Amino acid sequence: MFREIKRALKMHRIFIVQELKRFTEYKGDFLTGAVGLLLAQLCNIIFISVIFGQIPELMGWKYNEVMFIYGFSLIPKALDHLFFDNLWSVGYFIVRKGDFDKYLTRPINPLFHVMAEKFQVDAFGEMVIGIILLSCSLPSIEVEWGVGKVLLVIVAIIFASFIYTGIKIGTAAIAFWTKRSGNITFMFYMVNDFVKYPIDIYNNVVRSVLTYIIPFAFTSYFPALYFLTGENPLFNIGMTIVVALIVMTIGVLIWNRGIKAYESAGS
Amino acid sequence: MSDLRRKLKIYTPFINAGMQEMSSYRANWLFYILGDVLACFVSFFVWEAVFISNGGESFMGFDKSDMVVYIFMSFLTGQVISSGGTYNIGEEVKDGSIAMRMIKPISYNATFLFQEIGNKLMEIGVIFIPLVAGVEIYRFAVTGVLKFDILKFLFYLVCCVFAYAINFFFNICYGFTAFVFKNLWGSNMLKNTVVSFLSGAIIPLAFLPDVLKNVLICLPFSSLTYTPVMIYMGMYTGYELLFFAGVQIFWAIVFWLLSKVIWKCVINRLSIQGG
Amino acid sequence: MIYVENLRKEFKKTIKEPGLKGSLKSFIKPKKEIVAAVKDISFDVNEGEILGFIGPNGAGKSTVIKMLTGILSPTSGKCTINGKDPQKDRKTYVKEIGVVFGQRTQLWWDLPLTETYTVLKEIYEVDDSRFKKRMSFLNEVLELDSFINSPVRTLSLGQRMRADIAASLLHSPKVLFLDEPTIGLDVVVKDNIRKAIAKINEEEHTTVVLTTHDLEDIELLSKRIVMIDKGSKVFDGKITDLKEKYGQMRELAFVSPDENALNALGYAEKFGLSDDDLIQEQDGTSCKIRFNNAIVPVSDMLSYTLSKINVKDINVKDADIEEIIRRLYKEGVE
């Protein structure tokens, strides 16, 4: 077990180094993607600012708090995007074109191989905006910070990013049956737009979906709530960890069944 | 005239191909649309919260039902006028097959256009009618009056055609940036983000500061979504209608000419440097 | 080394109806059908053998290879390679095999070729000293030196294929699967690749399973072939047996000054040969006649020809493998 983790980390490092070598050839490309993502977030921030230009509070939430939640939601998303972006390609073309063959003929776990192979620097666009939003909104929010709380932020962010990864694994795996599932992943991803805002602005149905069915609320709202209010760490942080583990497990289970149904391509 | 009919006949198979394409990836496409509709609901709920927070008053001249109509109609208009030219041309530039366009006996842009029209016919059947009906029923339920005006709706449709023309030629022009930006996903997203903001798909342009608003209204992008939707909603009347339709036609012609000029440059470049 | 028993693979296929109505219909409710791509195939391969695996397009060759390499799970039946089940023991199994798909590459596209090998070294856990030895061996056999520092996307098809074969051999596999390794290559490059495969087989006793469209690959490399058609095995044995069993076609070639010689001869009417049993070509003065030896003995053919016209340079040849197989594909095997 320990040896395997060590080996996986080593392989991951090697893949990342390879990707970085690739980027030295395509610097302009990296900027295009990162700037695109940055602008996309910036547009939404303008949208929020226009709203708060007219009203002081959105259902009890102040501008800074909304910004904090928005910023918090971007960081786990960016982390997953940075390390495991290749899962998108599984659903869009790796399976359909039969390119998944390659991963099955190599002596490392195919899921790990395909996930770790890409290092998507575009994600820095989201990451930068997320960090800027957090650091700009923090000073005006009254919370006490300590080493423990900082550690909890890191833990919460890591597990929150696993929720994204798990959902991507599970939805990408659907391609093993249907050949294409990129748009299913996309659909799930659009759900995460909901959790950029405090989820109590939604009605009960939407809120339950975001909490129990497609639990994106645990990638931003709940952990952010703990840092905003200091209340209920057991639920807000603890459940984030539990939910992340559940989503990841379900994703991997679907994946493992999917691999058996893989039909490759061509004659 | 008979020449035109003959020409159209060459291209009708492409409409059919476009429809077939849609049907073979139907599930995939439905998920995609569903994803986008979800994004509309995010805006819907955010605006609902805004109207609750400000006590139900109108927000910069829009009341809640206006806002709902705006959100869904701007999404729908965006779908109707969307065009995949950028990506297709980008791929061709990247793999070098763009040179093949020079030797094709029929206009490649036209085949692409007709294939896309085939796609759209299918799309309109599946989402356009239910969404417009939904929006109108909602409006009727909230305000108690039937606001649907067939004349304005027809005018809206005509404006959509102009908007599609602008978008089609703009996307072709933009597609050639693949000579510079090799990251198609990134450059496409960059474009979509900027265009959707400038066209009013994220925030109605009326909510922006006056100076910015006036600049954006003269740019081609407002013609894509904002103008048709405002017409649908009945926000423009009389001369305003004609003025904005004129702006649309102006930009459609500009991008059509520009796409021709760029294509000429590309041909020169290809014949000097090779594929 | 390789034991295949009643291997079967079925796929679900969507049937598309033509026309607008058809596309609307399949938009709402697609029709599905189960198709067997491989129907209960069995065969064995011995250690150190090169097996030619052939069949027409869509016969199921690639599907068999994909099951043998653990990419596809068989619907029923099983295969054991070096005592391992490709699906169940996947992780240890794939360390013992090398796979090359001619139409795909496993090389890192944007990076210099040598980067691929350093990553594969880690993936297959090849230690430094073995890696060095291995690279120099592969360099020698496949002549990688001249392009090893170029980005993969700039390689020619032949170079890329050599690089891909080297990549599949880096971890010294016991079995090498080659799916169309010479597809799209010119004659000289094909020859180089065949020589390299033969050399590796000879020096390391690597078992090779080779599918190809180019029957010359088979003739030059393998002594034994398995032929499949429409998912079933139609022949398994030595190439010489195949020739003996099905090679009834003989070729008679001669030069005649009479430009209408073939018409004048009228073989078809004389011997009652159908189009399948008689193929005639005339190019100026030289004539080629391929005929079915089982119907007309060579001696009859010769004496008839000589009695009718003046000929120079007459000779008779055995059918080549390509001819036999072309006939088999066409007729099927009873």
- Flag if B193 and A40 touch (Cβ within 8 Å): yes
pLDDT single digits (tens) B34-65? 888 888 999 999 999 999 988 878 888 888 88
Best mutation target among A26, A30, A43 (most B Cβ atoms within 10 Å) is A43
Size of the A and C interface in Cβ pairs below 8 Å: 71
CA–CA distance from C117 to each of B33, C114, C132 (Å)? 43, 5, 11
Residue C306's pLDDT band, with cuts at 50, 70 and 90, is confident
B32: closest CA among B127, B143, B109? B127
B134-173 burial: b if 16+ Cβ within 10 Å, else e: ebeeebeeeeeeeebeeebeebbeebbebbbbbbbbbbbb
Q: What is the pLDDT along chain A (267 residues), one digit of tens a residue?
A: 788 889 899 999 999 998 888 877 777 777 888 888 899 999 999 999 999 988 899 999 999 999 999 999 999 999 999 999 999 999 998 998 889 999 999 999 999 999 999 998 889 999 999 999 998 988 887 777 788 888 888 999 999 999 999 999 999 999 999 888 999 999 998 898 899 999 999 999 999 999 999 999 999 999 999 888 888 888 999 999 999 999 999 999 999 999 988 988 764
Range(s) of the domain holding residue B28? 2-273
ipTM, 2 decimals? 0.86
Q: How many CB atoms lie within 10 A of CB B269?
A: 12
Q: Which other chains touch chain C, taking contact as 3+ CB pairs less than 8 Å apart? A: A, B
Rg (CA), chain C: 25
| CA gap A141, C58 in Å, rounded | 67
Copy the structure tokens of residue B129. Answer: 């009618």
Residue C24's pLDDT band, with cuts at 50, 70 and 90, is low
Residue C22's pLDDT band, with cuts at 50, 70 and 90, is low
B40: closest CA among B220, B153, B196? B196
CB C295 within 8 A of CB C277: yes
Which pLDDT value is given to residue A206? 93
Task: Return the DSSP state at C320.
Answer: P
Within 119-158 of B, beta carbons closer than 8 Å to C belong to 122
Tell me if the domain spanning C248-318 has CATH number 3.30.70.260: yes
Mean pLDDT of C67-73: 91
Nearest CA in chain A to B35: A187
Sign of CA dihedral A214, A219, A223, A228: negative
pLDDT single digits (tens) B92-110? 887 777 777 766 666 767 7
Which pLDDT value is given to residue C16? 66
Residue C311's pLDDT band, with cuts at 50, 70 and 90, is confident
First and final C-alpha spacing in chain B = 37
Chain B residue numbers touching C27 (CB-CB < 8 A): 22-23, 26, 122
For residue B273, pLDDT beyond 60 = no
Please, what is the angle between helix A124-137 and helix A63-84, to 10°?
150
Copy the structure tokens of residue C186. Answer: 């010119």
Mean pLDDT of C82-103: 90
Alpha helices in A138-174 (DSSP H): 147-173
Copy the structure tokens of residue B130. Answer: 């239910």
User: What does pTM read for this prediction?
Assistant: 0.84
pLDDT single digits (tens) B114-127? 888 888 888 887 88
- The rounded mean pLDDT for chain B is 85
Which pLDDT value is given to residue C12? 81
CATH topology of domain C2-7+42-243: Rossmann fold (3.40.50)
CA distance B28 to chain C (A): 11
Domain ranges of chain C: 2-7+42-243, 248-318
Q: What angle do CA B44, B50, B53 make, to 5 degrees?
A: 140
Name the β-bridge partners of C54.
C227
Mean pLDDT of B187-211: 90
Which pLDDT value is given to residue C65? 92
DSSP C188-236: HHHHHHHHHHHHHHHHH--EEEEE-S-HHHHHHH-SEEEEEETTEEEEE
CA distance A128 to chain C (A): 27
Say which residues have a Cβ less than 8 Å from residue C236's Cβ, sequence separation at least 6.
Answer: C43, C224, C225, C226, C227
| CA gap C179, C231 in Å, rounded | 17
For residue C334, pLDDT beyond 50 = no
For residue B75, pLDDT beyond 90 = yes
CA distance C252 to chain A (A): 38
Residue C99's pLDDT band, with cuts at 50, 70 and 90, is very high
- The rounded mean pLDDT for chain C is 85
The H or E element spanning position C279 is: strand C278-283
Which pLDDT value is given to residue B117? 85
For residue C332, pLDDT beyond 60 = no
For residue B113, pLDDT beyond 60 = yes
Range with the poorest average pLDDT among A163-177, B169-183, C22-36, C105-119: C22-36
Burial of C118 (0-12, 13-18, 19+ CB in 10 A): middle
Q: Which residue type is seen at A67?
A: M
- Flag if B183 and A29 touch (Cβ within 8 Å): yes
In this structure, are strands C224-229 and C232-238 parallel, antiparallel, or unpaired? antiparallel
Alpha helices in chain A (DSSP H): 2-25, 27-54, 63-84, 86-89, 101-104, 110-116, 124-137, 147-173, 175-178, 182-191, 204-208, 221-229, 233, 240-261
| CA gap B145, B141 in Å, rounded | 8
What are residue B152's phi and psi, to 5 degrees?
-65, -35
| CA gap C136, C76 in Å, rounded | 42
Instruction: Please state the domain count of chain B.
Output: 1
What are residue C175's phi and psi, to 5 degrees?
-125, 135
Chain A residue numbers touching C95 (CB-CB < 8 A): 107
Rg (CA), chain B: 20
Domain ranges of chain A: 2-261
For residue C294, pLDDT beyond 90 = no
Which pLDDT value is given to residue A267? 45
CA distance A93 to chain B (A): 13
Whether C27 and chain B come into contact, CB under 8 Å, resolves to: yes
C212: closest CA among C237, C192, C190? C190
> For residue C111, is it left (φ>0), alpha (ψ between -120 and 50) or beta?
beta
CB B153 within 8 A of CB B228: no
Please state, for a pLDDT cut of 70, what percent of chain B lies above it. 94
For residue C50, pLDDT beyond 90 = yes
Q: What angle do CA A21, A26, A30 make, to 5 degrees?
A: 100
| CA gap B7, A254 in Å, rounded | 51
Residue C27's pLDDT band, with cuts at 50, 70 and 90, is low
| CA gap A111, A94 in Å, rounded | 12
CA distance A165 to chain B (A): 18
| CA gap B150, B161 in Å, rounded | 17
Which pLDDT value is given to residue B20? 75
pLDDT single digits (tens) C119-168? 999 999 999 999 999 999 999 889 999 999 998 988 999 999 999 999 99
Chain A residues within 8 angstroms (CB to CB) of chain C:
10-11, 14-15, 18, 21-22, 25-26, 98-99, 101-102, 104-109, 260, 262-264, 266-267
Q: Which other chains touch chain B, taking contact as 3+ CB pairs less than 8 Å apart? A: A, C
Best mutation target among A24, A50, A62, A199 (most B Cβ atoms within 10 Å) is A50
